[in-house]
Amino acid sequence: MTNEILVVVAAAFVFACGAMGVVYRKNPVAVLMSVELMINAAILLLILGSRIHGNAEGQAAGLLVLVLGAAEAVVGLALALAVFRSRSRVDVDEPKEIAG
């Protein structure tokens, strides 16, 4: 097996773990961590494609996606904290709407 195939298999495994975490977890922090796993798997494939084609644009795009993923996690944690302050329990399935 070549190194590229191993990276694709590893990225698929990491993405599958993240997808299972999103489906089965009810805690918003665990769901956000699972989404970050899925984003990291996509970044891994983006960097692999950049390495195969021999250019650095994919690596720069991977860095940009990584920064946007961190910003997404900050916003998601702020929303989870706002829901936790209004209720004693935090469950992703419980709130039907977010009213200000």
Domain with residue 43: its CATH number is 1.10.287.3510
Per the structure, the count of domains in the chain is 1
- The whole-angstrom separation of Cα 7 and Cα 2 is 9
Q: Residue 100: pLDDT above 60?
A: no
Mean pLDDT score, 21-33: 87
Q: Which region among 1-10, 59-68, 79-88 has the lowest average model confidence (pLDDT)?
A: 79-88
pLDDT at 34: 92
Domain containing residue 51: 3-86
Question: Is there a domain that residue 64 lies in?
Answer: yes
In a domain, 91, yes or no: no
Flag whether 24 is in a domain. yes
Dihedral class, residue 91 (left if φ above 0, else alpha if ψ from -120 to 50, else beta): beta
User: 11 or 2, which is more confident?
Assistant: 11
Is residue 80 one of the residues assigned to a domain? yes
Task: Please check whether residue 96 lies inside any domain of the structure.
Answer: no
Asked if pLDDT for residue 30 goes beyond 60, the answer is yes
Taking residues 16-40, what's their average pLDDT?
90
Cα 51 to Cα 71: distance, rounded to the nearest angstrom: 26
Q: Band of the pLDDT at 94, cuts 50, 70, 90?
A: low
